[in-house]
Amino acid sequence: MSYSSESPDYIRLSTAADIMLGFASGRFFKNAFPFCINLLLHFNDGCKANCLYCGQAREIASSPTCKTLIRVEWPLRGLNEVIEAIKKFDHNGCSLRPYRVCVSSITNPKALNAEIEVIKRIYDATKLPISALITPTIFTKEAMKKLRDAGAERIGIAIDCASEELFNLLRGVHARSPHKWSRYLEGVVEAVEVFGKGKVGIHIIVGLGESEKDAVRLIQWAHDVGAETHLFSFYPEEGSVLDGWVRPPISQYRRVQLARYLINAELSRYEWMKFNNEGQISDFGVSRGVLNEVINTGLPFVTSGCPGCNRPYANERPSERPRNYPYIPRGKELNIIIRELNTYKPFTNNLNALIEYLRDRVSKDLRQLSSPEALTR
Ligand code: SF4
């Protein structure tokens, strides 16, 4: 086997995982240690997609190496070293230790075999539950079966954009990117067929330009086909096309978090909820008593993800209050959350504003767009 500085022999680690495994020094605010080791495939020719919010996008990445993702460095390490570092936690008797590994793919033809091989090597050595975060653009249903047979326990699919229009604009045809909305939805259904209900999660990034109604509609769709939703709050990636786009108001994020929890816990449904003219949730479709009880558990505001994936501070600076809590918020923190849930600011980070923002920054195709409706063509 050739030994190059690419996957599967090499892999990138999130900064948090790098610290947790002892490769780098650092501390975790409020001791919120990550319980999932997040890994990312690496190829010298980088990612072939062009998602406009991503620091790895083909057309903006200055180099395929040494780049950031969700604003942090992802150092490159040898896979064998990483496996040995994970194994050091074996038998240490501590209840708090990494208990999941997530292997994230990029859009590169070499990713198919590399993802399977990385998962196989980690699973054979550690027997930890492994999530494979993949793109249906290159992972067919057959490839998903191979991932399962290699040891993957779950599948994650980052749809990211909560509507077809937004998807086409930011990571599909209008972004000169290969991804297709229909293939992503089909891929979610295939993943559930291969891995089973409750073993598949979609990622949605809140605040890209979708309304709360768009986000809730997709969460309900995913739930109905047997997939969970894992939420992220948009934070501009330096150097990406969207690096000047606004972060969503925290009130928008809190309402989508609460709706997500109610839908995935089967306490409410999209059809039962009400939305105002700006597409904001005005009624969660449950009684006030049930709603208060759910809010007071604090659970809707904890990081949504595969079991163990608490992703501390992936959506904000450590000095800020978490959007996704890596612990259960209580007391004062919960009081602030309740205020946030009840704050309704005008919905200015919408699709029309996004089209305006992008008009001078991207391709001729986009400059020709006159309205959101044109994005479905
Ligand atoms: S929720 Fe976490 S572990 Fe699951 S696929 Fe997403 S990043 Fe990976």
| Protein residue whose Cα sits closest to atom 2 of ligand 1 | 309
> Biggest alpha carbon distance in the chain?
62
368 belongs to a structural domain: no
216 belongs to a structural domain: yes
Gap from CA of 25 to ligand 1 centroid (Å): 24
Q: Show the domain range for 186.
A: 10-348
5 belongs to a structural domain: no
Domain of residue 43, CATH code? 3.20.20.70
1 belongs to a structural domain: no
pLDDT, position 312: 75
pLDDT, position 61: 59
Cβ-in-10-Å burial (0-12, 13-18, 19+) of 230 comes to buried
pLDDT, position 56: 80
- Number of domains, the chain: 1
Question: What is the C-alpha to C-alpha distance for residues 276 and 214, in angstroms, rounded to an integer?
Answer: 13
pLDDT, position 1: 42
Gap from CA of 363 to ligand 1 centroid (Å): 32
Gap from CA of 359 to ligand 1 centroid (Å): 33
pLDDT, position 30: 74
Gap from CA of 343 to ligand 1 centroid (Å): 29
Name every residue whose Cβ is closer than 8 Å to that of residue 374 and which is 6 or more positions away in sequence. Answer: none
372 belongs to a structural domain: no
Residue among 11, 12, 133 whose CB has most ligand 1 atoms within 8 A, to mutate: 133
**Ligand 1 proximal residues by C-beta, below 6 Å:** 36, 38, 100, 102, 131, 133, 156, 201, 203, 230, 305-306, 309
Stated as kind and residue range, the H or E segment containing 183 is: helix 181-195
The minimum-distance atom of ligand 1 relative to the CA of 305 is 1
Gap from CA of 212 to ligand 1 centroid (Å): 22
Residue among 102, 115, 160, 264 whose CB has most ligand 1 atoms within 8 A, to mutate: 102
Each residue's pLDDT, cut to its tens digit, for the chain (377 residues) gives 444 799 999 999 998 899 999 999 887 777 778 899 999 999 999 999 999 999 887 776 555 444 555 556 799 999 999 999 999 998 888 888 899 999 999 999 999 999 999 999 999 999 999 999 999 999 999 999 999 999 999 999 999 999 999 999 999 988 889 999 999 999 999 999 999 999 999 999 999 999 999 999 999 999 999 999 999 999 999 889 999 999 999 999 999 999 999 999 999 999 999 999 999 999 999 999 999 999 999 999 999 999 999 887 777 777 788 999 988 999 999 999 999 999 999 999 999 999 999 987 876 656 556 566 666 65
28 belongs to a structural domain: yes
Cβ-in-10-Å burial (0-12, 13-18, 19+) of 4 comes to exposed
Residue among 14, 230, 304, 311 whose CB has most ligand 1 atoms within 8 A, to mutate: 230
| Protein residue whose Cα sits closest to atom 8 of ligand 1 | 102
pLDDT, position 355: 93
187 belongs to a structural domain: yes
Side-chain half-sphere exposure of 95, counting CA atoms within 13 A: 0
235 touches 318 (CB < 8 A): no
pLDDT, position 374: 64
The minimum-distance atom of ligand 1 relative to the CA of 203 is 6
The minimum-distance atom of ligand 1 relative to the CA of 156 is 5
Residue among 13, 306, 311 whose CB has most ligand 1 atoms within 8 A, to mutate: 306
Strands (E), the chain: 10-13, 36-40, 68-69, 72-73, 76-78, 100-104, 130-134, 154-160, 200-206, 228-233, 274-275, 281-283
pLDDT, position 62: 52
| Protein residue whose Cα sits closest to atom 4 of ligand 1 | 306
Model confidence over 242-265: pLDDT tens digits? 999 999 999 999 999 999 999 999
Model confidence over 46-58: pLDDT tens digits? 999 999 999 887 7
The minimum-distance atom of ligand 1 relative to the CA of 133 is 5
Residue among 131, 155, 229 whose CB has most ligand 1 atoms within 8 A, to mutate: 131
Gap from CA of 115 to ligand 1 centroid (Å): 15
Gap from CA of 139 to ligand 1 centroid (Å): 17
46 belongs to a structural domain: yes
Gap from CA of 309 to ligand 1 centroid (Å): 6
